[in-house]
Amino acid sequence: MVSLIIGAAVLALLIFRQVSVRPLREGHRVPLILTVVGIVEFSQYLRSHRGHPAAIASALGGSLVLAAVSGAARAPTVRIWTQDGTVMRQGTALTVLLWIVPAAMHLGYDKLAGGNAVGDVGASTMLLYYAVTFTVQRRVLHARARAH
């Protein structure tokens, strides 16, 4: 339950940052923080859950593929432009929708992939999901900016 609350709070912060007009930066701080905290949460899940390892690995792997695909699909919905020599970016309403729907799919994917054998792996890997999707989106945005 705590992982789910943390995940929802992080999603709200990510969405807020997405729709704000901001410079497009190369920084890796946000994905690094999400990865480290996500690994801690997933480790705690693994210590307390005795599910089938193959089912858990399958659920995690499929969910991270979903994260990468959704990040790549979401990136073109972000507006980019140059202002005073700085590349700026701002997400749109579609960007917000493409954050929310795949995040919900991530939470449901563990049930589809492994049913009761994986427990709440989706909630425990939410921050890892965000790290992957955020990183892929940022990489696509940087590629678009270079082409722009």
pLDDT tens figures, 81-118:
999 999 999 999 999 999 999 998 888 776 676 565 55
Q: Judge contact between 12 and 132, C-beta under 8 A.
A: no
**Amino acid type, 85:** G
Residues 7-46: pLDDT tens digits? 889 999 999 999 999 999 988 899 999 999 999 999 988 8
* Type of residue found at 148: H
Within 10 Å of residue 143's Cβ, how many Cβ atoms?
11
Write down the pTM of the prediction: 0.90
Helices (H) and strands (E) in the chain, counts: 6, 3
User: At 53, phi and psi to the nearest 5?
Assistant: -55, -40
Give the three-class secondary structure for 118.
coil
CA distances from 35 to 16, 21, 31, 38, 128 (A): 20, 25, 6, 5, 5
Nearest to 68 by CA among 12, 11, 134, 10: 134
Lowest mean pLDDT among 16-25, 59-68, 84-93, 137-146: 59-68
